[in-house]
Amino acid sequence: MMRYLLLIVIYCCTSWQVQAEQTLDSLQQQLVNAKDTDKPVLLLKLANTLQYSDAEQAETYALQAKHLATQIQDFTHAAEAAGMQAQLRTQTGDFAKAQPLYEEALEHWKALNNESKIVSTQLELGNVYWRMGDYDKALTQCYDALKRAEALNDNALIADAVHQLGIINDLLGNYTVALEHHHRALELREALDDKEGIADSLNNIGIVHYFSGKFKEALENYMKSLDIRRAINDAEGIAKSLNNVGLAFKGLKQYDEALSYFEQAIQMREKLGDKYEVANISNNIADLYNLKKDFDAATPYLIHALQLATETDSKELVRENYELFSKLYAAQNDFHAALAYYKLSTEVKDSILNEQSQEAIADMQTKYETEKKEQQIALQQLALNQQALLRNSLMGGLFFIVILAFVMFNRYRFEKKTNQKLEEANNLISLEKEKSDQLLLNILPLRVANDLKETGKTEPESFENVTVYFSDVVGFTDMSSQLEPKFLIDELNDIFTAFDNIVESHQCERVKTIGDAYLCVCGMPTPDPHHAQNIVRSATEIIQYMNERNQRSDIQWRIRIGIHTGSVVGGVVGVKKYIYDVFGDSINTASRMESNSEPMRINISQTTYELVKDQFSITPRGSMFVKGKGDMNMYFVDV
């Protein structure tokens, strides 16, 4: 099998190389005698021809094309050249340098009002941001791109946008949302008969199943994707699918099959010069050798992966690499080294969070200071106007006593009216301040809101003893497609309002809702020694409420609940829309508890079980596989 695949790859690459050399000679001959106005196009064609065989020379051609196009004010080809440079940087995994080049291209396309190019460039930029671990900026670019694509009614671009959104939600652990996006992209691409797009969507559906622990379903989708990519001779796509098939076999514990596919994938990625993917696959092979207890074989792959991930500024790959080093040393009972690498992994994860949080906090502080200065300027202007009128009145009084009396009388009336307006303005400012304070309390915890009001900033904090509740609605996608949007929103609003009342009555804090998912916590930002009992009690009342509601409602909604206890990081995040959010492994674990639960059941982890086992009736479920964690004990709380 491996020999067959390698022969296909060698044949495709050899055939492509012969054609590329013929095209290259022809373009270079045309360039010699071409007019300046035609040279940017020819230089871009040269760059495109050399894209995979000589990336360095291709970038030189793209740079020449950009400079020449800029000189002759051909901004269309200047934008295409900047995009080509960015694409070449992305191809080699140099995302930090690709990002400003995509930004440059995006500015050109916006100035030219080319909506389709704006959308495609935003999606490329979103791809770069999530690979750098900046998910907030990635989502911002991709959601804006989706709105523009829908306004254009361009199904191909809509499919590309929801494809990217599916990937980002998958990385964030929002698997239900991710699957919805990927299935929508697949339907659009099948209607367009877009073979490459269909293969991408099948591949990404497989990825979601993989991270949900459904390895057979993942393997089935990966294989379908691989077959299509072989049929269309998509070398890069074949490499991607080979790696993912290897991951599926690893999940099924068929390690020899997994290693065979990994080796094929890494050979192709090295030939393509993609440092990011070589680092990614090297991490995968190292993890495989860790599972096989072959630590000597794992080490060189980890070292190589770390070097490439550092070169490409791929923080998520660096974090994963440190985590794998930690597992390797822990398996060899070198706990000192294991702890050191675990701390490094945590530091990288925290740095991603801190960068996003600091940007949001700085932006909020700037907004606060600007509004404050505007209010001060308005009050100063009122005072200056009053002084000017007073001065003019006094000057008039020097000419005639009667006029003075008249002016003084008018001044008295004006001052009275002005004071009334000042008082009204102050009352309005106080009222707006009260509204702002109330709005702040609606979206942020009390202590965080007070920090922002008093100092204009708040710092992310780590909380050690927090219990996390996560739930979603079973079959929401199918039911939502059958209901009117307004009715659906009213239903969710009614259900989540009841949830809010229940969790608040038990001193718990609702963090956010994402579609049909509901996330709340207890033990932060104010510590609570009864955090686990409060969350579980809230969960039981929520199940009771849903059962009672279903008895009197025409629509039967069922939910799954997952609960886990551990450490959590909380802070204000976002760039334009500020929210208080929570992060950390405990959030992911609670989400996994939910995905492994059953309809109208409460699934809790071992950690939570130890804290509440004496207060509730609990049924052990035994050990189950959890993505990224391995086997974990789970328990149902009886309602």
Please say if the pLDDT value at position 636 is more than 90.
yes
DSSP H or E segment with residue 569: strand 559-573
Nearest to 582 by CA among 496, 524, 534: 524
Please tell me the least confidently modeled range out of 124-128, 253-257, 290-294, 340-344.
Answer: 340-344
Q: Which of 265-274, 355-364, 544-553 is predicted least confidently?
A: 355-364
Give the pLDDT of residue 340.
Answer: 80
The gap from C-alpha 501 to its chain's centroid, in whole angstroms, comes to: 30
Helices (H), 446-515: 446-455, 476-482, 485-505
Query: pLDDT value at position 574?
Result: 52
Q: Is the pLDDT of residue 362 over 80?
A: no
Cα 130 to the chain's mean position, in Å?
6
Q: How far apart are the two ends of the chain, measured CA to CA in Å?
A: 53
CA distance 272 to 266: 10
Q: 171-180, 215-224, 441-450, 540-549 — which is least confidently predicted? A: 441-450
For position 10, what pLDDT does the model report? 39
pLDDT value, residue 538: 96
Task: Give pLDDT, residue 449.
Answer: 60
pTM of the model: 0.46
Name the most confidently modeled range: 86-90, 515-519, 619-623: 619-623
pLDDT score at 53: 74
Contact assessment for residue 612 and residue 604, using Cβ atoms and an 8 Å cutoff: yes
Tell me the C-alpha distance between 411 and 462, whole Å. 60
| CA atoms in the 13 A half-sphere facing the CB of 564 | 26
- 11: pLDDT strictly greater than 70: no
Looking at the predicted structure, is the pLDDT value of residue 373 above 70? no
* Backbone dihedral angles phi then psi of residue 560, each to the nearest 5 degrees: -110, 140
- What's the mean pLDDT in 494-516? 90
Where helices occur in 34-154 by DSSP H, the ranges are 39-49, 55-71, 75-91, 95-111, 115-131, 135-152
List, for residues 558-579, the tens digit of each pLDDT value.
Answer: 999 999 999 998 877 654 555 7
The per-residue b/e assignment along 336-346, b for 16 or more CB within 10 angstroms, e otherwise, is eebeebbebbb
Q: Is the predicted pLDDT of residue 254 greater than 90, yes or no?
A: yes
Note the pLDDT tens digit of each residue in 53-67: 777 887 888 888 888
**CA-to-CA dists, residue 374 to 357, 385, 429, angstroms:** 26, 17, 12
CA-to-CA distance for 196 and 186, rounded, in angstroms?
11
Hey, how many other C-beta atoms are within 10 angstroms of the C-beta on 359? 16
pLDDT at 28: 64
Span of 83-92, 360-369, 508-517 with lowest mean pLDDT: 360-369
- The closest alpha carbon to 192, from 200, 209, 237, belongs to 200
Where is average pLDDT lowest: 106-120, 244-258, 332-346, 519-533? 332-346
Please state which of the ranges 13-17, 137-141, 213-217 shows the lowest mean pLDDT. 13-17
Q: Is the distance from CB of 282 to CB of 305 less than 8 angstroms? A: yes
In percent, the amount of the chain with pLDDT more than 90 equals 38
**Half-sphere exposure (CA, 13 Å, Cβ side) for 627?**
23
User: Residue 615 pLDDT more than 90?
Assistant: yes
- 259-298 pLDDT, tens digit each: 999 999 999 988 888 888 999 999 999 898 988 889 899 8
Residues 6+ apart with CB under 8 A from 493: none
pLDDT tens-digit map of 385-431: 555 555 555 554 445 455 555 556 666 665 666 556 556 555 654 55
User: Which 3 state secondary structure label does DSSP give 579?
Assistant: strand
- With 90 as the cut, is the pLDDT of residue 638 above it? yes
